[in-house]
Structures are given as C-alpha cells and as structure tokens.
Homo-oligomer: A and B are copies of this chain.
Amino acid sequence: MASLRDVAARANVSFQTVSKVLNGKGAVAPATRQRIIEAAEEIGYIPNALARSLQSRSSLTLGVITVDFSNATPALSLVGIEREARRHGLSVILSSLEPDGSDCVRYLRVLMERRVDGIIMNAPATEEDEEVGRLLRAGPAAVSLHDIAGGGVPTVTPESEGTAALPIRHLLSLGHRRIAMVTGLQQRHSAQQRTAVYREVLAGHGLPYDPLLVEDGAWEVEGGYAATHRLLDRASGITAIYVQNDLMAVGVLNALHERGLSVPDDCSVVGCDDHPVAARTIPPLTTVRMPFSDAGAAAVRLLLERIASTSPKDVVLPVSMVYRASTASAPAGA
C-alpha cells in the first residue's frame, strides 16, 4: 500500500511537501502541486488514517455500545447515531452487548484502546453497573441514552412523564376505569418510571393501584401475548390495556383476537414507540411516538459539545400521541 514517501519519490519532492499539498496546507507552486496530485493518483495513494490519528491525537471515531438491536427500537437509535455521526465526518465503531450486559466493561476498554473520540451508550442493562459508570466518567467524552450509575454522564432521553401519562389520560378521557398494563422488563428504569406514572395518574383520578392489572411482557411479542392471557384469566372488567411497547402490543392484539374480544369495541389498546408495523396492525394501533432516531442524533450532537468541552446539559425529547383505531370509548356496560 502506497505511502506519502512513494508519492514523493515519484514527484521528486520530499514527502512532507506531499503532505502539505494533499492537506492543502503550506505554500506550494502550482506546477509542483499538479505533479504531486498526478503522482498520487497514478499510484493510487490512499492516506493512512491510523498514522494520521496517531500523530493528530484524534481518531475521528466514536464508539457505540448498544443493547442487541434485533429489535426495531435500539436499531432506530443506532440509525440516528450513525447518520448524524456521518454528517459530521465521524466513523462509528459498533459494539453490541449480550442481554445481561456483562461484557460491557470489556468493550469499553476496546473502545478506549482504539482511542475513540467519544462514546455513546445505549445499553439499559448496564444502567446499574457502577464500574461502567466509573469508566465512562474517567474515559473519553461520553453520552448516554439512559441513566448511568453514579451519574456524571449527560443523557438524552424521551420525556418520561408523558410517555405513560399521555396514553393513560387518553384512556381515562374515553371513560375507561379498569386499565391494565403490560410492562417491559421491570429492572429497567424506563419501565419503572412508566409504571410509577401509571399509578400516579390513576391515583389522581381516584383509582387505586390494582396489581392484578399489571403484567410483565419483557418487551417481546410473545411476552405481550402471554401477559394478556394471564391478565384476562385472573382479572375481570378490563376495558383497556396500556402496553409499554408496540412489539408487545402486537402480541396483545393477537391474544385479544384469540379470545374473541374485539378491539376497540370490547377492549382498547394503546402501544408505545410507533413502530413501523403499528400503522397496519389489525386494528391500526394508537400509540406514543418515541423519538428514537432523533435521540440518537441528539446524542451525537451532545457528544460533540462535550468533546468541545462545553458544559454537559441533559436533553429531554418530547413524545406525542398517534391516534389510530385501537382505542374507543369504554363499552357502556362496563
């Protein structure tokens, strides 16, 4: 692979002069410049970013540590990150984690060895991990899409209050009183927060918390399906279900259909995320639109600010309701 020296030899100049020309830095005579550019082209010179980074102490790279992105939502965040990074001329090194997040420390170290300019975390499984928090505070600039143990890392998150409050209020306004909930993994802060808001909003309407109305669906289609059957088996009078993500909601719709319950006539369903399929489920799903891709992009911009060493300021992104056909007034009899 050709180096500056090879180009220089061909153009009869010193290799530093070639560097100047190719970077448009120093003063070089037009004729020489031309000669150098031609020589570079002829031998197919491609600069070595490794050497450049070594010298310049900046790799123009950022590392991303993400939860498994087989699911659409982390994939969307990743898309947002990658796109925004690309816009700023940064490359992205991708590391995905096993579900338990146990290998996070190892991958953080790899990123540090590669001298990434910054790190973006999207691995909620590690949000309680003190060691991860320590490394992120000590290492290169970092930004996270969720909480980090011990804090000190700027975050970009969807407006958590609204994420649960909007759909619950929507259901209340339609006259529903027995509103069930299918949650994501209860270890995750985001699931805990939504559950807390669900309790609060219901309490605000004089409705006591009923644990029989809450089931864990583990963020997965099958989890939502199974959770719904469990809910309907043990609790009566349910006229609406708030599901903490759309993937589970697909399972919920299927379970309700299996039981011969019509959505929304017998039971309303609200999802969360506005997953691409939500628009065409049967019936189309009323859901909360989450700014996943925007959050990824915002994280990159925040990271760039942090690298430029301005003060870290958390970003909270707004969420909004998307009204479709899976919600309706509570049945008269209920």
Contact = CB atoms under 8 A, between A and B. Distances in A.
Contacts of A112: 46
Interface string A89-115: 001111110000000000001101111
Interface residues of A, number: 56
Contacts of A222: 279-280
B48 A115 contact: yes
Nearest to A279: B221
Contacts of A221: 276-277, 279-280
A82 interface: yes
Nearest to A275: B277
B68 A114 contact: no
From DSSP, what is the main secondary structure of chain A's interface residues? helix
A79 interface: yes
A96 B293 CA distance: 14
A94 B78 CA distance: 10
A207 interface: no
Interface of A: 1, 44, 46-51, 53-54, 59, 61, 68-72, 75-76, 78-79, 82-83, 86, 91-96, 109-110, 112-115, 138, 220-222, 224-225, 247, 250-251, 253-254, 257, 276-277, 279-282, 284, 293
Nearest to A293: B70
Given A91-B95, A93-B93, A113 B280 contact: no
Nearest to A220: B276
A50 B114 contact: yes
A54 B48 contact: yes
A247 B280 CA distance: 10
Contact of A82 (B54, B96, B251, B277): B96
